[in-house]
Amino acid sequence: DIVMTQTPLSLSVTPGQPASISCKSSQSLLHSDGKTYLYWYLQKPGQSPQLLIYEVSNRFSGVPDRFSGSGSGTDFTLKISRVEAEDVGVYYCMQSIQLPYTFGQGTKLEIK
Amino acid sequence: QVQLVQSGAEVKKPGASVKVSCKASGYTFTSYGISWVRQAPGQGLEWMGWISAYNGNTNYAQKLQGRVTMTTDTSTSTAYMELRSLRSDDTAVYYCARSIYGDHDYWGQGTLVTVSS
């Protein structure tokens, strides 16, 4: 199975400041079709996960542009340009290039 | 709007089975698949498997092979996940999510399954 490793596991950020989460995969997520199957999800407290970013860098419908994704191969980053109170929760990366799909351990974001 | 509505919480004894439903609306059901993802209390997300609503093809996580069955009923746009021989470590919130290439873009509200004697 592909192992997804996120760092840090927790993050405390002052509103208005940036935040960054790293996700590394044990194998390349670049498919022969040219796409890279790396996703980012946010699970707000008491809610179901929600899709933020698909295929490394594409924001899902309705996701604010303060969220951005980047990376390639095995190294990926989710950045929040200016953290807001509503961004609290646990962020997960996930790969779908190989079965079984696997998630990172999660990164808990809290507001200072 | 796309909605996935799951069945209610269940309490089961060890060794029993549970069947969770996920009713889809707001899109063409057979154009997508449904993934099932679970989350044990205080833990992260675990992908369980996927079913094509188009042809019923399935892919299951190896660790659940033989205990899990995913099905769909296209007449009611509903997906089902049955888990058998329940153990205490199957206690979790079970989510369905619309998925075609791993992009789980819409999720159900979750179903808590508690396994306890």
Residue A87 φ then ψ, to 5°: -90, 0
- Per-residue pLDDT at A74: 98
Cα separation, A55 vs B32, in Å, equals: 17
User: Quick one: average pLDDT of A63-85?
Assistant: 98
- Residue from A37, A39, A48 whose CB has the most chain B CBs within 10 Å, to mutate: A48
Mean pLDDT of chain A: 98
The percentage of chain B sitting over the pLDDT mark of 70, rounded to a whole number, equals 100
Would you call A49 and B37 a contact, using CB atoms and an 8 Å cutoff? Answer: yes
Q: How many CB pairs under 8 A join A and B?
A: 59
User: Quick one: average pLDDT of A42-62?
Assistant: 98
User: Quick one: average pLDDT of B38-51?
Assistant: 98
B113 touches B18 (CB < 8 A)? yes
Rounded to a whole number of angstroms, the distance from the CA of B17 to the nearest CA of chain A is 23
Q: Element (H or E) spanning B8, and its range?
A: none
Q: Which residues of A touch B50 (CB under 8 A)?
A: 101
User: Quick one: average pLDDT of B83-105?
Assistant: 95
Cα separation, B112 vs A19, in Å, equals: 32
Rounded to a whole number of angstroms, the distance from the CA of A84 to the nearest CA of chain B is 23
CA nearest A61 in B: which residue?
B105
- Per-residue pLDDT at A37: 97
- Per-residue pLDDT at B103: 87
Q: How confident is the model at residue A68 (pLDDT cuts 50, 70, 90)?
A: very high
Mean pLDDT of chain B: 97
Would you call B44 and A92 a contact, using CB atoms and an 8 Å cutoff? Answer: yes
A41 touches A49 (CB < 8 A)? yes
> Among A25, A28, A30, which residue's Cα sits nearest to residue A5?
A25
- Per-residue pLDDT at B20: 98
- Tens digit of pLDDT for each residue in A5-50? 999 999 999 999 999 999 999 999 999 999 999 999 999 999 999 9
* SS3 state of residue A4: strand
Rounded to a whole number of angstroms, the distance from the CA of A58 to the nearest CA of chain B is 11
Q: If interface means Cβ-Cβ distance under 8 Å, which residues of chain A face chain B?
A: 37, 39, 41, 43, 48-51, 54-55, 60, 90, 92, 94-97, 99-106
Q: How confident is the model at residue B102 (pLDDT cuts 50, 70, 90)?
A: confident
